[in-house]
Amino acid sequence: MAKFIFGASIAAALSIASWSGPVTAQGTLRVALGTTLTQLDPALTTIGDEYVYVHLLFNGLSKINPDMTVSPDLAESWTASEDLKTWTFKLRSGVKFHHGKTLDADDVIATIQRILDPKTGSRARTNLSMVESVDAVDPLTVRFKLSVSYAGFADIFADRQTRIVPKDRIDELSKTPVGTGPFVFKSWSPGDRLELTKNPDYFNKGLPKLDAVTLRIIPESAARLAALESGAIDILWSMPYESVDKVKANPNLRADSVATPTWDGVILNNAIPPFNDVRVRKALALTVDKAAIVELALFGQGDPTFSPIPPSHPYFNKKLKFNPPNIEQAKKLLAEAGYPNGFDVAMQVPQEREQRVRVGVAVRDMAKAAGIRIEVQRVPFASYTANVAGKAPMYVDGYFARPTVDTAVYPFYHSGGSWNNQLWLYKEKRVDELLDAARKTNDDKLRAELFGTFQELVEETVPSIIAYSAAHVNGVSKKVEGFRSTPMQWLELAPVSIKP
Amino acid sequence: MTAFIVRRLAFVVLVLTAVSMLVFTITSLLPANVAYLILGSFAPPEQVKALELKLGLTDPIWQQYIRWATGFLSGDLGESPLLKRPIAPMLWEAVSRSLMLTGFSFVLIALIGIGLGLLAALRHGRTLDHGISVATYLGIAVPEFFWSIIVIIVFASWLGWLPASGYEPMSEGVWVWFKHLIAPTMTLVFGHLAHVSRLTRSSMIEVMQSPYVNAARAKGLPERVVVMRHALRNALLPTITVLALDFGRLMGGIVVVETVFAYPGLGRLVVFSIQNRDLPTLQAAILVVAAIYAFANLIADLLYAWLNPKIRFGVHVN
């Protein structure tokens, strides 16, 4: 009996304690991220968790809306010359940085020149490589001269690394970052949490509604989920798909899902045997059931696609159909290509990315029917750049959403594209022509047509197998109001409020 | 005794020097160097070369080591090239948080472990003895990350009594601070009970059968006095050594437990610096872990010598 009373009193003490848990200020939203940030300087960020932070502190000249269209942000408007080589941006007036300085053309120029300087080492440098010069027409007007015609130029400024930073604080960005965004940097404790407070001078009047935002780093996914369930956090950023049903079943939580251009697929090396033969690539594609891969790898949280253009995008080719697997046809093509008895091939999968491992295993099992015997090898993701990319005949990889269709497609499929030469080494003249033409036109209808034909060509020539566009799912407490997940996977928190 | 202490201390210094050389050499052999880290993976190679020269990374390794070691001794641990902040304050903060965790765990391991061992010895061969054996073996046999997740699911998700993860400073309230320590401490304690309880049990059983215990009983002393005053004191000698070793093992345990519980201590710092190849931080953190380990062993040696003069004077028993 004494033991029972003792146990019960511990239980009581603990449960009383749980009501008087950490007292957070009214209107503080707590978000859980999985990986610790290594960079606070927006130009140098490289991972999704860092982009979440960048989006809360900084603005670009343009911004991406939830429907993937682009509209002005720090720029009020922009115009392009007839040949799409001269672009003039008019800046919003009276925008204040967090340290009080007013935004002007020199800040934009300093930001861009810094990214273009190879010494900075920014990942965004290649996206801006067509910039020949940038100068100020007046304090609120910036003019870019480009070396090539580039229709999507304004869209690039919505990207993460190209956010505008103040000229006089560039050296301190990695310690005390200063931007124009809805939230102001307060403190950063590496591996633990990043604290942000409301920007009272934010140029979008009436926003943000929250007083503060805390980004907490919780590496273990079970602990992140438990923190959401126990109310210690309000938003679980990019939750694992296998937990979606559990969150949906909880009356206090909801799973907020959105289609994204983030994709995974089987990368085939088009330059070396056996996949240098288009018949072999086609044969493999004929064995693959993309709808089944979505179920197996994503637990249904995504959609099959042909290329990095997701089904949710206006440029997606709706006339094309996903053909069911055709093993007879696949065997025939293999025989024609000189593999009547099939062949053996190794496929690397990144061992830390469970979802991509599942894609690899699913494709292995599907390809077996046609005699393509794949040996799945789990390797560390960190070894990809050194040993796998561009060298192995086939492996599983995937890429995060890019801000525009051009940046998602051109570097990957144009024969001179930077990613193409690292991934599948695909050379197709008709695709080169289409992608170049799309860069030179400002006519949206024509571009949709060009990218539609591009998707047909990709289905016909199979550079690789893009399996799906993955959904982005956030676990959200029902106390949070006004939150919507976005396709770029960063968090739009300015319009969000929280019920006490 | 003084000579003994001096000898042991000199040995600790020797061990730490050897560890520091080893750590420095191994980390220098890794493919990523500091210049590469400062400039980021998209930097041009000429730029990396220039910075390597400037930072002296092209000097012979022994020169680099001496530079690093002298800096370390004068308290200058350098700056983390990744986080762009001095390592020392970051490291001490992490160490103090980890010491809270390991300190609590250590005290509980000692008390509960010895208590369970004693109970098992007195109920030798009966159900309670077997029960304790099974429970403590389960704790040590199943890895910590598993228990961590079980603790999180049970106490945070289901019962909602404890926070799922994280750390709050004492300034947020003593109870809030303490509450964040309970779950990781529980996991660490459960995983480390077996050594202490098993050893206490076996030496206690042995001692209880020795002639002097029989003599004490024959004198008519109450059983409680026989057990606590005569038997346990002697039985605890080996336990003390194993406790010190456990303190070292706890240093390994925190790497896992702090990661799962998102507890920003030394273990997380080590994992972070390995994952991101932040070599200066890694070197400093590993050296601190080695120092804690070495001092825990030193204390065990000294305690043992103090309790058992045979060790102190190097007397051999034939």
- Rounded to two decimals, the ipTM of the complex is 0.73
Q: What is the pTM of this model?
A: 0.78
Chain A with chain B: Cβ pairs closer than 8 A? 125
What percentage of residues in chain B have a pLDDT greater than 70? 91
Q: Give the residue, A24 or A305, on which the prediction is more confident.
A: A305
Position A437 confidence tier, pLDDT thresholds 50, 70, 90: very high
What percentage of residues in chain B have a pLDDT greater than 90? 18
Q: Per-residue pLDDT for A59 more than 90? A: yes
Q: Do A122 and B42 touch (CB under 8 A)?
A: yes
Residues from chain B contacting residue A193 (CB–CB below 8 Å): 166
Q: Do A226 and B153 touch (CB under 8 A)?
A: yes
Residues from chain B contacting residue A15 (CB–CB below 8 Å): 159-161
How many angstroms separate the CA atoms of B261 and A224, rounded? 9
Q: Per-residue pLDDT for B307 more than 60? A: yes
Strands A343-350, A372-379: parallel, antiparallel or unpaired by DSSP? parallel
- In this complex, which of A123, A189, A193 lies closest to B42 when CB atoms are compared? A123
Q: Do A122 and B149 touch (CB under 8 A)?
A: no
Residues from chain B contacting residue A45 (CB–CB below 8 Å): none
DSSP bridge pairs for A259: A471
Residue length, chain B? 318
Residues from chain B contacting residue A46 (CB–CB below 8 Å): 41
Q: Give the residue, A67 or B43, on which the prediction is more confident.
A: A67
What percentage of residues in chain A have a pLDDT greater than 70? 94
The answer to whether A342 and A292 are in contact (CB under 8 A) is: no
The answer to whether B82 and B37 are in contact (CB under 8 A) is: yes
- In this complex, which of A15, A122, A175 lies closest to B161 when CB atoms are compared? A15
Q: How far is B98 from chain A (nearest CA, A)?
A: 14
Mean pLDDT, range B156-172, rounded to an integer: 85
Tell the residue number behind the tokens 């480009």, with chain if given. A146
Q: Per-residue pLDDT for B314 more than 60? A: no
Q: Do A220 and B148 touch (CB under 8 A)?
A: yes
Dump pLDDT digits (tens) for A205-221: 888 999 999 999 998 88
Check residue A459 and give its pLDDT. Answer: 93
Q: Give the residue, A20 or B254, on which the prediction is more confident.
A: B254
Check residue B222 and give its pLDDT. Answer: 87
Dump pLDDT digits (tens) for A12-40: 444 444 443 344 445 899 999 988 888 89
Residue length, chain A? 500
Residues of B near A (Cβ–Cβ under 8 Å) read: 39-44, 47, 82-85, 90, 145, 148-149, 152-153, 156-157, 159-168, 172-173, 175-176, 179, 259-262, 264, 268-269, 272, 276
- In this complex, which of B41, B84, B90 lies closest to A175 when CB atoms are compared? B84
Check residue B228 and give its pLDDT. Answer: 83
Cis-peptide, bond into residue A304, ω within 30° of zero = no
Check residue A18 and give its pLDDT. Answer: 40
The answer to whether A27 and A497 are in contact (CB under 8 A) is: yes
The angle at the Cα of A27, spanning A21 to A32, to the nearest 5 degrees, equals 65
Check residue B42 and give its pLDDT. Answer: 56
Q: Do A192 and B167 touch (CB under 8 A)?
A: yes
- The nearest alpha carbon in chain A to B51 belongs to A119
Residues from chain B contacting residue A17 (CB–CB below 8 Å): 161, 175, 179
HSE-CB of A126 using CA atoms within 13 angstroms: 14
Check residue B306 and give its pLDDT. Answer: 77
The answer to whether A44 and B40 are in contact (CB under 8 A) is: yes
Name the most confidently modeled range: A125-129, A186-190, B237-241: A186-190
Q: Per-residue pLDDT for B270 more than 50? A: yes
Q: Do B40 and A121 touch (CB under 8 A)?
A: yes
Q: Do A190 and B260 touch (CB under 8 A)?
A: no
Residues from chain B contacting residue A216 (CB–CB below 8 Å): 166, 262
Tokens representing residue A189 in the block:
């404790």
Dump pLDDT digits (tens) for B184-235: 999 999 988 988 999 999 988 888 888 888 888 888 888 888 888 888 888 8
User: Mean pLDDT of all residues in chain B?
Assistant: 84
Check residue A75 and give its pLDDT. Answer: 95
Q: Per-residue pLDDT for A138 more than 90? A: yes
Q: Per-residue pLDDT for A500 more than 60? A: yes
How many angstroms separate the CA atoms of A161 and A153, rounded? 15
Residues from chain A contacting residue B159 (CB–CB below 8 Å): 15
CB atoms near residue A72 (< 10 Å) = 18
Residues from chain A contacting residue B172 (CB–CB below 8 Å): 22-23
Check residue B185 and give its pLDDT. Answer: 94
Dump pLDDT digits (tens) for A235-287: 999 998 989 999 999 999 999 999 888 999 999 999 999 999 999 999 999 99
- The nearest alpha carbon in chain A to B48 belongs to A119
Listed residue (A90, A86, A66) closest to A78, CA to CA: A90
Listed residue (A399, A393, A389) closest to A422, CA to CA: A389
Percentages (nearest 5) of helix, strand, coil residues in chain B: 80, 0, 20
Dump pLDDT digits (tens) for A330-371: 999 999 999 999 999 999 998 878 899 999 999 999 999 999
Tokens representing residue A138 in the block:
């007046």
Q: Do A175 and B160 touch (CB under 8 A)?
A: no
Residues of A near B (Cβ–Cβ under 8 Å) read: 11, 14-15, 17-18, 20-23, 36, 38, 44, 46, 118-119, 121-123, 125, 174-175, 189-193, 216-220, 222-227, 229-232
User: Mean pLDDT of all residues in chain A?
Assistant: 89
- In this complex, which of A121, A219, A232 lies closest to B43 when CB atoms are compared? A121
Q: Per-residue pLDDT for B256 more than 60? A: yes
- In this complex, which of A14, A174, A220 lies closest to B161 when CB atoms are compared? A14
Dump pLDDT digits (tens) for A358-417: 999 999 999 999 999 999 999 877 677 667 877 899 999 988 887 788 888 988 999 988
